[in-house]
């Protein structure tokens, strides 16, 4: 289970394992458990919502949840989202796009993209029917982290090195099948509605990663976060749509 704890510490602010003991194999092993890490994030979000729902207006509470997730994960995926926006939509050639994404400074595309992402996530959560809030708060981080496993194992890496490359090169071959089983476990509780959200996450991943690979020549650690964040948006949107049909 060391892989799980390494993944939990890498993808969140929880400090459980001594970071000096990490090996590249540990990073690879952690990929299998990304859905479980997402489940932990979702459990904390659901607990926060449950404790505060009776005391805080829904609009403010949902904004607080967006901020809570950002702080709980250390803004890791949001940072990747902004870097990807800067490079992917820069209008430059492939090599220059990758160079822009490596720049630690955030450009205008990244800032605008992050603002729109945050506002959209907030308003979508506000408009969620109350009976699907528990499902969305749990499945949104779970499935979005599952999409990262697909990104890592099913799409080529665009750079010869990088943190994302460590995950891609050292993830075991069984990571995706096991992660898929873990990601499907909530079906036991939510049945068809969760299957619907699972399919949405899968399609969003395949479409966005195909687009990213076409324009960047592959994926990067930043694009993992990009796909993760956009998957959450479409999962919430999908839950709203199916609730009103």
Into how many domains does the chain fold? 1
d(CA 182, CA 186): 8
Phi, psi of 73, rounded to the nearest 5 degrees: -95, 0
d(CA 204, CA 83): 19
Yes or no: say if 231 and 205 are a contact pair by the CB < 8 Å rule.
Answer: yes
Written as six digits, the tokens of 89 are 């939509």
Q: By C-alpha distance, which of 146, 152, 167, 161 is closest to 209?
A: 152
**What pLDDT is stored for residue 161 in this prediction?**
87
**What pLDDT is stored for residue 172 in this prediction?**
93
Alpha carbon separation from 6 to 12, 55, 95, 220 (Å, rounded): 10, 35, 32, 20
**What pLDDT is stored for residue 162 in this prediction?**
82
Q: Helix, strand, or coil here: 116? A: helix
Domain holding 130, by residue range, is: 2-244
Alpha carbon separation from 140 to 14, 97, 169, 214 (Å, rounded): 19, 29, 27, 27
Q: Report, as ranges of residue numbers, the positions in the chain whose pLDDT lies below 70.
A: 17-20, 190
d(CA 9, CA 5): 6
In this predicted model, what pLDDT tens digit does every residue of 145-173 receive, in sequence order?
A: 999 999 999 999 998 888 889 999 999 99
**What pLDDT is stored for residue 188 in this prediction?**
76
User: Quick one: 37 exposed, middle or buried, by C-beta within 10 A (0-12, 13-18, 19+)?
Assistant: buried
**What pLDDT is stored for residue 15 in this prediction?**
81
DSSP 157: B
Alpha carbon separation from 37 to 9, 15, 28 (Å, rounded): 9, 13, 14
d(CA 60, CA 4): 33
């Amino acid at each position: 289970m060391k892989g799980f704890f390494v993944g939990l510490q890498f993808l969140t602010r929880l400090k459980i394992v001594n970071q000096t003991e990490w090996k590249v194999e540990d990073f690879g092993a952690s990929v299998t458990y990304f859905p479980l890490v997402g489940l932990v994030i979702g459990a904390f979000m659901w607990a926060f919502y449950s404790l505060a729902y009776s005391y805080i207006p829904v609009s403010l509470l949902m904004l607080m949840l967006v901020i809570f997730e950002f702080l709980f994960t250390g803004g890791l995926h949001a940072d990747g989202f902004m870097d990807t926006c800067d490079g992917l939509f820069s209008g430059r050639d492939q090599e220059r796009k990758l160079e822009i994404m490596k720049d630690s400074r955030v450009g205008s595309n990244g800032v605008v993209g992050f603002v729109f992402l945050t506002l959209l996530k907030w308003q979508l959560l506000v408009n969620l029917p109350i009976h699907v809030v528990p499902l969305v708060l749990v499945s949104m981080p779970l499935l979005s982290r599952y999409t990262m496993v697909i990104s890592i194992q099913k799409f080529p890496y665009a750079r010869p090195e990088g943190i994302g490359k460590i995950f891609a090169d050292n993830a075991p071959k069984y990571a995706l099948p096991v992660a898929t089983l873990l990601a499907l476990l909530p079906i036991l509780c939510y049945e068809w509605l969760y299957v619907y959200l699972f399919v949405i996450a899968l399609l969003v991943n395949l479409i966005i990663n195909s687009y990213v690979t076409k324009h960047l020549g592959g994926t990067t650690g930043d694009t993992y976060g990009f796909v993760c964040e956009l998957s959450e948006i479409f999962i919430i949107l999908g839950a709203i749509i199916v609730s009103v049909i």
